[in-house]
Amino acid sequence: MDLNSLQDLQGYLNTSKLYFECGLGNTTPGYCPEVFDTNLYYMADTEICWPETAPGTIVNRSCPEVAGLDRSQLMFKECLSNGSWYIKSVNGTSIPYVDYTRCINLDELEFLTFMNKLSVIGYSVSLAALLISLTIFLTFRTLKCTRIRIHTQLFISFILNNVLWIIWYEEVVPFYEVPVANPLWCQILHVSKEYFMVANYMWMFCEGLHLHMALVVVFVREERTMRWFFGLGWGVPVLIIILHNSIRFFYTRDTRRCWLEESSFSHWFLSIPVLIILGVCTVFLINVLRVILTIMHPNSQNPAPIGIRRATRAALILIPLFGIQYILLPMIPEQHHPLYHFYQWLTLIMVPFQGLCCSCLFCFANQDVIQAIKNLINGFRQRNARFGSYRYTGGAVDSAGVYVVNGSHRKSTVSTKI
């Protein structure tokens, strides 16, 4: 292979100079040659060149700095007596074997496994609450308004996002061979998660924008604004994801391990738009709150609608909750930092349960929803009470009689039995 071909391959794999220098030197006859640890590179984004080793010798290196591994321990690679590296068959495939067993921090692995299970529980609980809320919004005709329609789209984006995260934790995280193999379905799953996550933020932006327009802008056509909301909520995330992943695919080449490894440079093409969305939405809500407290005070002659005031409070609570993972992103502690476990618990509480908080604030605590459910229950009670008040006045089984209500013979409530 010529130099130009090597350079093209290097650009495609996004590897460093070490990848191509490892093994280029002459090997002592009978010795195991220098070899680049490809498996470790794809698993941990760590570059190691195992040195030329005498036959019948075991060489070691420090374990990589990866979550769940103990860097103070050693990993081993065996050179056989015939001068070849030990090869192991895994699922019918022969791979260069490296013993990583001593690297595994069992306590840390148990902690991360436990946290992953709790994350699945959190997303599942939120998913159940969101499905109930969505059913309520779609069932009651009295809830057909622009504000509820925006809530509905926000919940749909949450539902799809939660489903994808549950699949991720169940089908990708427990199996290290899946990211190593980097199948197409896993890459699509990762990109889809990103899309619906950004859609969450955009629909929160639509929540703030609608509240702002409802109080500040006069004579707004609801149907026209809803079309704009659909474009913002579902269309803008497409542009953000295309830009972000194009940078990753064509420039930084961060496409390994189901797109898990990402440079800080490309990450900002996703983080900055999300932070801008959250910032603008917060400005909208603060302005809405200012209008409510000053111009349209609840005690004034022209108070803001109760629904607007409650929706504003709910959105103001949700905005910092939605952005917690991006606000804390620059402050992620190292694995051995004292605050590492605290950060893991904080993100566990905040992120998977966002859908549950959204359901509670926008649906279960929504007075329109509560009133609609009360009306439904009262309707059932009235019908049961009306049917229970009928009384048959006949004697024998075959004799004539009438059904009366409260002892009165009314034409509208009487039927004859023959």
Instruction: Kindly report the CATH number assigned to the domain that includes residue 369.
Output: 1.20.1070.10
Q: Tell whether 197 is covered by a domain.
A: yes
**Residues 215 and 358 reside in one and the same domain:** yes
Q: Tell whether 259 is covered by a domain.
A: yes
Please tell me the predicted confidence (pLDDT) of residue 239: 95
Please tell me the predicted confidence (pLDDT) of residue 87: 86
Q: Which residue has the tokens 């409510």?
A: 292
Bigger pLDDT: 348 vs 384 = 348
| Contact (Cβ atoms closer than 8 angstroms) between residue 96 and residue 85 | yes
Please tell me the predicted confidence (pLDDT) of residue 71: 78
**Residues 88 and 116 reside in one and the same domain:** no
Quick: pLDDT tens for 324-374: 555 555 566 776 777 888 888 888 888 898 899 889 888 888 888 888 888
| Contact (Cβ atoms closer than 8 angstroms) between residue 83 and residue 91 | no
Tell me how crowded residue 56 is: count the other CB atoms within 10 A of its CB: 12
The three-class DSSP label of residue 400 is coil
For residue 230, CA distances in Å to 50, 224, 306 come to 54, 10, 25
52, 76, 103 - which closes a domain:
103
Q: Tell whether 276 is covered by a domain.
A: yes
Confidence of residue 14 (pLDDT cuts 50, 70, 90): very low
74, 103, 132 - which closes a domain:
103
**Residues 61 and 141 reside in one and the same domain:** no
Looking up residue 41, the CATH number of its domain turns out to be: 4.10.1240.10
| Contact (Cβ atoms closer than 8 angstroms) between residue 403 and residue 417 | yes
Quick: pLDDT tens for 89-117: 755 667 778 888 888 777 777 888 899 99
Question: CA geometry: angle at 277 spanning 133 and 196, to 5°?
Answer: 45
Bigger pLDDT: 328 vs 11 = 328
Kind plus residue range of the DSSP H or E element containing 109? helix 106-139
Residue 383 clears pLDDT 80, i.e. is over it: no
Kind plus residue range of the DSSP H or E element containing 404? strand 401-405
Tell me how crowded residue 83 is: count the other CB atoms within 10 A of its CB: 17
How many domains is the chain partitioned into structurally?
2
CA separation for the pair 313, 289 (Å, rounded): 8
Q: Tell whether 11 is covered by a domain.
A: no
In sequence order, the 6+-apart residues with CB closer than 8 A to the CB of 400 are 394, 416, 417, 418
**Residues 214 and 342 reside in one and the same domain:** yes
Q: Tell whether 406 is covered by a domain.
A: no
CA separation for the pair 167, 112 (Å, rounded): 17
For residue 59, CA distances in Å to 29, 100, 169, 240 come to 18, 12, 35, 47
103, 122, 145 - which closes a domain:
103
Domain containing 51: what range? 21-103
CA separation for the pair 27, 187 (Å, rounded): 39
For residue 36, CA distances in Å to 23, 180, 225, 256, 331 come to 7, 16, 57, 17, 33
**Residues 114 and 31 reside in one and the same domain:** no
User: What are the structure tokens assigned to 217, written together?
Assistant: 């802008």
| Contact (Cβ atoms closer than 8 angstroms) between residue 326 and residue 274 | yes
Residue 62 clears pLDDT 80, i.e. is over it: yes
Q: Tell whether 401 is covered by a domain.
A: no
**How much is the average pLDDT of 230-250?**
92
* Pick from 351, 293, 285, 354: nearest CA to 313: 285
User: What are the structure tokens assigned to 315, written together?
Assistant: 């959105």
**Residues 368 and 297 reside in one and the same domain:** yes
**Residues 306 and 324 reside in one and the same domain:** yes
**Residues 57 and 203 reside in one and the same domain:** no
**Residues 91 and 120 reside in one and the same domain:** no
**Residues 69 and 116 reside in one and the same domain:** no
Q: Tell whether 413 is covered by a domain.
A: no
**Residues 173 and 232 reside in one and the same domain:** yes
Mean pLDDT of the chain: 77
Q: Tell whether 78 is covered by a domain.
A: yes
**Residues 139 and 153 reside in one and the same domain:** yes
